[in-house]
Structure 1
Amino acid sequence: MRAAWLLLPALAALSAYYVYLPLPGAVSDPWKLMLLDATFRAVQQTCHLIHSLRLSHHLTVLNYLICTFDKLKSVSSEDIKITDAVFDGVEVRVFEPPSKGDEDLKRSVVYIHGGGWALASARTSLYNNLCRIMAESLNAVVVSVELVPEVWFPEQYHDALRATKHFLQPDVLAEYSVDPSRIAISGDSAGGNLAAAVCQQLSKDEDLPVRPKLQALIYPVLQAFDFNTPSYQQNMNMPVLPRYVMISYWIDYINGDYDLARELLINNHTTLNVGPALSFRTRLNWTSLLPPSFKKNYKPVVQTTGSAAIVEQLPALLDVRAAPLLADDATLARQPRAYVLICENDVLRDDGAMYAARLERAGVPVTLDRFHDCFHGCMIFTMWPTDFSAGVQTRNSYIKWLDENL
């Protein structure tokens, strides 16, 4: 009994040490965020242990756990019709609000979910309920694109593009009673990456009969050129998406070697002696693209010499389809009106801010929505036990912009 009394305080101390993480004072619901992050870390570490034992790939295990423990939770939108369909070989989930007699055609949102190009699903409760709320609030048809987690770039990109182009066909829009002039392409995190890349490609397709009116990007990941932007430096250890995890997602997406993580971390793939990277350097010069409130006192990390072999081995690092922020000005000038939501406590904050700045310089109307107390991924965390005020705040702002502009 005495040993138990000694063991319990020790376990409590160890648990507190594992959970506690210093956070900026302005972060929304800090203790809840610490608990969420501790859960993420514990699950990820377990999956990596299984991976190291060569029992299964860590992402396969993680996705299995997500699907196993996910319980579909309903929201008060009982009239929304939900159907699963296949658009040009790609699975989608369609959310349709009820018809109201002889009303006009509905507006629509094509939504691409996040998850590091490898996790979650359009069918999980977080994205299912987000799309239901969007369909109900906007009285819009929402098409949620399913991504196959077991494939690498460019397959995810091609799937998102094919599903979107299929939906934009006049006969398909007519089937769902959608107004061809009121369609938005949207996505969060890795889904925001795909949404931006899809919009860029659609703008180059001269034969496309219908084009999106808007693009709405939620804390998008847009480049793998510089992992030392001010937001990457400031938030390198922030919950949900620390810098090393984002680098791991990139390596998984482009089917790279984890041994390269250290090289990417210090920007050895885009050093001054790496020829292919030079032509893109001005397009990601955050010293000129970011305002002082973003740059603070952080300094650029530009190595003089590095390893050109990294880019040769992983050309997708500099592929515009994988990194839309690398696009040229002419491509950006053809983009639709944009909304970019960014969070202060997020390594990807500057990706979104730089993209908004480049779009604006190219003449595209842009709304940059910056949240000082929010963190990466917060918009989908609106339901117990992962209900955050930051989630409701960002979701409401996002839907409000769509409602006013779509």
Structure 2
Amino acid sequence: MLLLCLLLLSSFLVGVFLWAVCQHFLTADIPSTLQHPIKLRFLHCMFLYMVILAEIFEKLGICSKLRFLQLLQNGVRVKRDARLVVTDLYLGTTPVRLFQPKAASSSPRRGIIFFPGGGGFLGSLDSYHNLCSQLAVETDSVLLLIGYRKLPDHHYPCIFQDCLNTSILFLKGLKTYGVDPSRVVICGDSLGGGNVACVIQHLVGRSDLPRIRAQVLIYPVTQVINLQLPSHQQNRNVPFLSQKIMMICMLKYLVVNFHWWDTILSGAFIPPDIWRKYSKWLSSDNIPKSFRKPGYQPEFHGPFNEAAYLENKHLFDITNAPLLGDDEVIAQLPEAFLVSCENDVLRDDTLLYMKRLKDQGVPVMWYHVEDGFHGSLIFFDKKFFFFPCALKIINAVISYITSI
């Protein structure tokens, strides 16, 4: 009986994996500029395999889809670095992980506040531990990694609130951690990068807090309004952030009814007067022509659906679209280091935000990775699953932070 159960289980798992492989080859685009395409295909098949298993377990009532994926994420191996003291603690009610170099320093060190990505449901302290260890060691900085609240229990605006409140508490206690108040950098990737932009804007004018020295945004989310930009069209089926996954994460976190999927994707929820006001920042006309590949169809916003707008006005909030910040606020932001990947659905979010900052006189350094893809940074230390683009990104970030 046990043998029969094992055979049935094995057949089930093999069948699910074969279905995942079929899904990959039917839906995924692997751009020619990507290095190690076979490795990427394998990883994407495994990703789809886990997602399909999660969906099956949810339908069977065994475990919710998001919790299953979070459980798998928690299996990431955490590397201990003898050069660091790592402490888990709480700032307010938010769990954080503090990385402090052991070596003595004659003066206060640089500080880094890091917001992880993960689509609103991934991005645990453990999954970002190795990356933050590397940043802390290589830049000789005290680094604070923030473990904000996530789906499925928490929704908008919890992530922004946790990032903002925890940053404020850290900034008020810099002396406790041996951090130089004039050398604090806020850094994040993907959703975390978008929250860097939001938090930085909300800290402008706070005379009771140290001024942030710089912001580092790695393939960030800077708006959720124009989803017909060139990169959204060109890279909509590129692993690991396809347009479908992006939409699912966005709608779930922002508590948007899936009924509005097509309306939001097409831009029909944008009132004509609001588009006229913000198109100077949101339009694909702001994207350099070199990034518009043949076959790109310019965005078409219409016919306007007022019901969709009224239900989803929060998509225009600055906490969801820092690109729409006031000129007076943008002009006061600290210098920025922006990272974009060519094969990323969010590539143009970075390009739009770069132009927005430059137009207001904010110093910007931009690093574009031709063979990069969304989420690649997390693979920087994964040995067999290592991608050169990941090392390029982390080395560029380290080089920038150590230069300021």
Query: How does the TM-score come out when normalised to structure 2?
Result: 0.90
When residues 309 and 51 of structure 1 are mapped into structure 2, their CA distance, relative to the original with a 3 A threshold, is farther
Q: What whole-Å deviation, never above 9, does each CA across 1:359-379 have from its counterpart, x for those lacking one?
A: 011000001111111100111
Structure 1 match to 2:77: 71
Moved more, 160-169 or 258-267: 258-267
| Structure 1 letter corresponding to 2:394 | R
| Aligned match of 1:4 | none
Of 292, 296, 305, 2:293 maps to 296
> Which whole-Å CA distance do the structure 1 matches of 2:315 and 2:122 have between them?
20
The structural deviation recorded for 1:54 is: 5.7
Shift of 1:50: 3.6
Shift of 1:396: 0.8
Closer, same or farther: CA 204–50 of 1 in aligned 2, 3 Å: farther
Q: How far apart, CA to CA, are the structure 1 residues paired with 2:103 and 2:181?
A: 17
Q: Could you tell me which amino acid in structure 1 is paired with residue 50 of structure 2?
A: V
What is the CA deviation profile of residues 260-288 of structure 1, one whole-angstrom value per residue up to 9, with x for unaligned ones?
2222222222253xx5554333221220x
Q: In structure 1, the residue corresponding to 2:32 is in which secondary structure?
A: coil
SS in structure 2 of the partner of residue 157 of structure 1:
helix
**1:279 is paired with a residue of what secondary structure?**
helix
1 CA distance for matches of 2:393 and 2:95? 27
Structure 2 runs not aligned, ≥5 long:
1-10
Q: How does 1:301-320 map to 2 (within 5 A)?
A: 301-320=299-318
Distance, in Å, in 1 between the alignment partners of 2:193 and 2:84 is: 25
The residue correspondences of 1:80-99 to structure 2 (distance < 5 A) are 80-99=84-103
Match of 1:121 among 119, 124, 149: 124
Read off the aligned partner of 2:400 and give its amino acid letter. Answer: W
Aligned residue identity for 1:234: Q
Task: Verify: 1:166 aligned to 2:169, yes or no.
Answer: yes
- Pairs within 5 Å for 1:7-406: 17-20=22-25, 21-52=28-59, 56-67=63-74, 69-74=75-80, 77-100=81-104, 103-124=106-127, 127-149=128-150, 150-169=153-172, 172-205=173-206, 207-270=207-270, 272=272, 275-287=273-285, 289-297=286-294, 298-382=296-380, 383-405=382-404
Change (3 A) 1:48 1:260: farther
SS in 2 for 1:224: coil
8 Å CA contact retained: 2:29, 2:239: no
1:23 deviation in Å? 1.8
Q: Distance in 2 between matches of 1:46 and 1:277?
A: 41
Cα deviation, 1:177-208, whole Å, max 9, x if unaligned, reads: 11000000110000001111000100143x33
Alignment partner of 2:129: what SS?
helix
Residue aligned with 2:238, SS: coil
CA gap 1:217/1:252 in 2 versus in 1, 3 angstroms:
same
Alpha-carbon distance change, 176 to 262 in structure 1, aligned in 2, over 3 angstroms: same
Q: 1:316 to 1:237 in 2, by over 3 A?
A: same
Q: Percent identity?
A: 30
C-alpha contact (below 8 Å) 1:271/1:302 kept by paired residues: no
Cα distance between partner residues in 2 of 1:52 and 1:311: 32
Q: 1:57 to 1:15 in 2, by over 3 A?
A: closer
The CA deviation string for residues 13-49 of structure 1, in whole angstroms up to 9 with x for no partner, is: 8776455444221102111111111111121222233
| Superposed CA RMSD | 2.2
For residue 350 of structure 1, give the secondary structure of its aligned residue in structure 2.
Answer: helix
Q: Distance in 2 between matches of 1:340 and 1:93?
A: 24
Aligned residues: 385
Structure 2 contact 281–324 (Cα < 8 Å) conserved: yes
Report the alpha carbon displacement of residue 90 of structure 1 after superposing the two structures with TM: 1.6
- The unaligned stretches of length 5 or more in structure 1 are 1-6
Aligned-partner residue type, residue 142 of structure 1: L
Shifted more, 247-256 versus 58-67: the winner is 58-67
2:383 partner letter: W
How far apart, CA to CA, are the structure 2 residues paired with 1:259 and 1:53? 24
